[in-house]
Structure 1
């Protein structure tokens, strides 16, 4: 949240400081109400995760694309076989929830059907994602208290061996740094971020947006965590643009490559998430162990 002194006279005349604070108060109320809701099987899942005593846990927020969860699960089974994946289902379509639940049951993945989002019809995707992440933090991560936890986008896929604890052995958090467009704030993209739980356990983490600071989902953590860290002095994800040919047109399409993780994306472009997933799935199945090397040959910074 911006300090009051940072608003211009024009913004004061437009009552923007008051509007921002009222919006933030509303968001906090929505968040507090939502995080008190229970999910079916929640207690059993917490007990299961505690019993596993894994060196790290990975959490993903599923949203309406069973194919994305299938690809992420395939990649983690190959490159991170000892890393439990917890699928937290925020899907708005009942048929998608049913398909994702069945997929997780078939593969033995931990599955949690999140309470219905307070944001209906896919509206306000960033806020819905942030509220879902905060629920997972308070209902699952804090009770389980894993040594290390990661937040992964549902359409991310690893293409190389994964060692999450090593990424936060010397710092409290690791991931892909994103900067706001104004005011100097930054945050870690919650689609690829890793945390040392012991280092952040006492902090009031909040994965909501901070619109006044132009920070997207996870931006509220600027004020409680990131502003205390030196981004330039931290190890952070190395990002490039990778190119994969569209199987229908043969034209190369751009994809984000963060370290050894490929982000499918495309939910709002390239014909939608399913089309982009089909392209990446085809490339992955053709050569899962060699795909990263092939992508790096033509990747651009």
Structure 2
């Protein structure tokens, strides 16, 4: 059954479930729908045009299906990595976690820099790569740089939706590694985010339960999944979900809106300046997009003109050379 046919089937099943005694279909009541299905956003946020297109029930059905797929993924066994040992190493410590995929050079750069410039106790790499060749290269980079390595189960979203894939990977690590380990604090890093100066990203957690780079979606806000830090004693008992809630406009990490962000003032979250720039001279920003996030350089590898990717990486390497030298000196001391 193709996607269009499946969606029609789902819609018709909803219609049949709400037929009245005469066999004629009627629009479900908002109260009844809210009680029966997990709607991503409040029903009052849908306008009448969206109701006419049946978006609330369709969104609810799709959300339920997505969650079912995610729950199944969470129960899959790891393909490589000693989970009990990693839990023991993480317990009560300050933990960095990076989801890696298909770019061992990028991962190696980050591990070299965090190893010498970023205060932490343990760096875990969750490998979300598709190919075994990429996984082997990532495993070698972790072994060379002293990072813990986990080869995640085959991710059902990787080919279909990179954002959902990333969120599912974070949730697998939360449920199977971090939550059982109970670290003192943990933070998520995008694979192509590089520190360039000595820093302690866990220090702000002395004053707040969590912080990171803010993103907004209308009246909602959330922390960018590429740089966010959490104190375990403040969030460990909450039903965290680092996935997305796309129907509510929330990308990876935004599904924590209800349990973490809704009742907190975003102005109380420590922030750092974010400045976009073109990595290549004479090239438009959108073609060679990079960012300075405070003193961290974000390559933004999935953005821009992919035909310029190699040249962009060369430019990033030149920018990172002083930091790599400083990290090497720090590691030797």
Instruction: Normalising by structure 1, report the TM-score.
Output: 0.87
Which residue matches 1:283?
319
Please report how far the alpha carbon of residue 162 of structure 1 lies from its aligned counterpart in structure 2 after TM superposition. 2.3
CA 53–127 in structure 1, closer or farther in 2 if over 3 Å, else same: closer
Please report how far the alpha carbon of residue 49 of structure 1 lies from its aligned counterpart in structure 2 after TM superposition. 4.4
CA 63–52 in structure 1, closer or farther in 2 if over 3 Å, else same: closer
**Structure 1 CA distance, aligned partners of 2:280 and 2:242?**
34
Please report how far the alpha carbon of residue 36 of structure 1 lies from its aligned counterpart in structure 2 after TM superposition. 0.6
Which residue matches 2:41?
2
CA 267–63 in structure 1, closer or farther in 2 if over 3 Å, else same: same
1:153-210 CA-partner distances (Å, limit 9, x unpaired) = 0111111122132121111111000001x3x111100100000111001111111111
Which residue matches 2:295?
260
Aligned counterpart for 1:193 among listed residues 216, 220, 228: 228
Which residue matches 1:237?
272
**Structure 2 CA distance, aligned partners of 1:57 and 1:151?**
9
**Structure 2 CA distance, aligned partners of 1:224 and 1:231?**
14
SS at match of 1:151: strand
Pairing 1:93-242 to 2, within 5 Å after superposition: 93-120=131-158, 122-180=159-217, 182=218, 184-242=219-277
Contact 2:171-2:241 at 8 Å conserved across structures: yes
Please report how far the alpha carbon of residue 96 of structure 1 lies from its aligned counterpart in structure 2 after TM superposition. 0.8
1:203-240 CA-partner distances (Å, limit 9, x unpaired) = 11111111222111111111111011100122223322
**Structure 2 CA distance, aligned partners of 1:108 and 1:51?**
12
Equivalent residues, number = 285
The structure with the largest alpha-carbon Rg is: 2
Which residue matches 1:71?
109
Please report how far the alpha carbon of residue 287 of structure 1 lies from its aligned counterpart in structure 2 after TM superposition. 5.5
SS at match of 2:133: helix
4+ residue stretches of structure 1 with deviation over 6 A?
249-252
What are the ranges of 5 or more consecutive residues in structure 2 without an aligned counterpart?
1-39, 327-333
Determine if the alignment matches structure 1 residue 61 to structure 2 residue 99. yes
CA 108–163 in structure 1, closer or farther in 2 if over 3 Å, else same: same
Which residue matches 1:293?
none
Please report how far the alpha carbon of residue 288 of structure 1 lies from its aligned counterpart in structure 2 after TM superposition. 4.2
